[in-house]
Amino acid sequence: MSSTTQFNYADHFAKGLPPPSASATVDNPTYNFILGHTCPDLVPVEGLVEASARALRKDGPGLAINLHNGGLLGYLPLREFLVLKLGRHRGIDVTVDDILITSGSQPAAMLLNAALLEPGDTVIAENFSYVGMLGDMRMRKVNIVGVPVDEHGMRMDALASALDDLAGRGVTPKYIYTIPTVQNPTGSVMPMERRRRMLEISKERGVPILEDDCYADLVFEGEWEKAIRSLDDSGHVLHMGSFSKNLAPGVRLGYVVAPWEVLSQLLPLKGDIGTSTFGQMVVADFFHNHYEEHLETLRSGLRKKRDTLSAAISEHFGPSVEPNHPRGGIYLWVKFPDGVDTRKPLAAARKEGIGYNPGSDWAVYPADDRRNGNNYIRFCYALPTEDEIWKGIELLAQVFQRELGFPS
């Protein structure tokens, strides 16, 4: 029998799978403004080396034991750190039993969706929102109702009328998905007053809130608005966070804060026999010792890059292109004049080594001319160096010029 005979799996796959991946390679253009990378120079390498050594000397033999020191909810010292951090910085008063550690907040979202959503269900989201979440909802054949966002986040008048409209059709959404602090992609931060109003609406209508707080540590200007979860002890708010933005996405750690009624339903769906104890040990040790100091360095480094990107866009694209001025995070949401379709120069930009995400990537309604975001770009400024930001934007303006006759 020939060893080269290939087994054909086509007839063996389960039905209803998502389309297969086109490739296993990672997209890494020279001038990389895509995805949600952080800054290589701001990864606290030496601190993590020390934390690894300390954590392993202290508790390394425990790695021999499945779900060591904390069981299914996650490594206890990391949950203890989160209790402190959530209390101090997000106003959330919880215990270690209210927190489940996951391999990032995308898996946290997928677990919540697996537990809460069925095909045909409805969810509410900001009109432009995190593509990983929208993708998971779409895969689950869920009806996503987008609500407009202004510079203060999701608009509460529009939320109320979307809920009225749905109620008129006998539909109660499963939850309201919101990124209230440094919204992705628009960068808006929801003031406390609006957070209170959203919670009131949630209670009046019996629709819980899923609060995605993954950028909350990256606010580098103004107040630190507390989490919506800080206003609620009645179980209306499911809260999730991540170590991808305040440390590094390669760490692959995130968490859910939820009542036991919900956590106990997530555990049987979390088919990974626990999140990596090794990673949790290192991050717990590092953040117990260096949280404030690391965040200060990270925020000031990111702030500098935000200002560099903003300056480069103004210089090379001119005044008709309007970058927002987010109070934190890793993205600029940039508005081009009406009629400039930022998808068109994408392929030509790639040939020059420039990667960016057109606004439509984040649209709940990509096929609707009035709200598809075709004249926007979301740039991630965290990964490229300042020189790469300047050079990449200069080249991009030349590509736009060639392909669209803009800027003139």
Ligand X SMILES: Cc1ncc(COP(=O)(O)O)c(C=O)c1O
Question: Judged by CB under 6 A, does residue 184 bind ligand X?
Answer: yes
Which strands sit side by side in the sheet containing 143-147, from one edge to the other?
Answer: 99-102, 254-257, 237-242, 209-212, 176-178, 122-126, 143-147
| Nearby residues of 4 by Cβ (< 8 Å), 6 or more positions away | none
Stretch that binds ligand X, among 103-111, 161-169, 340-348, 385-393 (CB under 6 A): 103-111
- Least separation in angstroms between CB 107 and ligand X: 6
Question: Which pair of structure tokens corresponds to residue 280?
Answer: 């949790």
Interface residue with ligand X among 106, 230, 275, 372 (CB under 6 A) is: 106
Cβ proximity of 212 and 255 under 8 Å: no
- Least separation in angstroms between CB 282 and ligand X: 16
Interface residue with ligand X among 70, 104, 187, 279 (CB under 6 A) is: 104
Interface residue with ligand X among 153, 254, 274, 323 (CB under 6 A) is: 254
Q: How far apart are CA 185 and CA 235, in angstroms?
A: 27
| Nearby residues of 28 by Cβ (< 8 Å), 6 or more positions away | none
Interface residue with ligand X among 186, 202, 242, 246 (CB under 6 A) is: 242
Cβ proximity of 34 and 380 under 8 Å: yes
Task: List the x/- string, 193-212, binding to ligand X by CB under 6 A.
Answer: -------------------x
- Least separation in angstroms between CB 161 and ligand X: 25
Q: Which residue has the tokens 């990124």?
A: 179
Alpha-carbon separation of residue 313 from 213, 358, 379, 381, 384 (angstroms): 28, 15, 11, 12, 14
Burial of 335 by CB count in 10 Å (0-12 exposed, 13-18 middle, 19+ buried)?
A: middle
Q: Hey, is 11 helix, strand or coil?
A: coil
Interface residue with ligand X among 176, 179, 209, 312 (CB under 6 A) is: 179
Angle at 360 between CA 347 and CA 26, to 5 degrees: 50
Burial of 401 by CB count in 10 Å (0-12 exposed, 13-18 middle, 19+ buried)?
A: middle
Interface residue with ligand X among 105, 122, 230, 324 (CB under 6 A) is: 105
Stretch that binds ligand X, among 98-106, 110-118, 196-204, 337-345 (CB under 6 A): 98-106
Question: Judged by CB under 6 A, does residue 249 bind ligand X?
Answer: yes
Question: Judged by CB under 6 A, does residue 181 bind ligand X?
Answer: no
Interface residue with ligand X among 127, 178, 188, 244 (CB under 6 A) is: 244
Q: What are the two backbone dihedrals, phi and then psi, of residue 167, each rounded to the nearest 5 degrees? A: -60, -40
Q: How far apart are CA 5 and CA 296, in angstroms?
A: 57
Stretch that binds ligand X, among 104-112, 137-145, 146-154, 359-367 (CB under 6 A): 104-112
Interface residue with ligand X among 39, 166, 214, 284 (CB under 6 A) is: 214
Q: Which is nearer to ligand X, 179 or 281 (CB)?
A: 179
Q: How far apart are CA 63 and CA 126, in angstroms?
A: 41
- Least separation in angstroms between CB 195 and ligand X: 17
Contacts with ligand X in 126-145 (CB under 6 A)?
Answer: 130, 132
- Least separation in angstroms between CB 253 and ligand X: 8
Q: Which is nearer to ligand X, 35 or 231 (CB)?
A: 35
Q: Which is nearer to ligand X, 101 or 389 (CB)?
A: 101
**Residues of the shown chain interacting with ligand X in the complex, contacts defined by CB under 6 A:** 36, 104-106, 130, 132, 179, 184, 212, 214, 242, 244, 249, 254
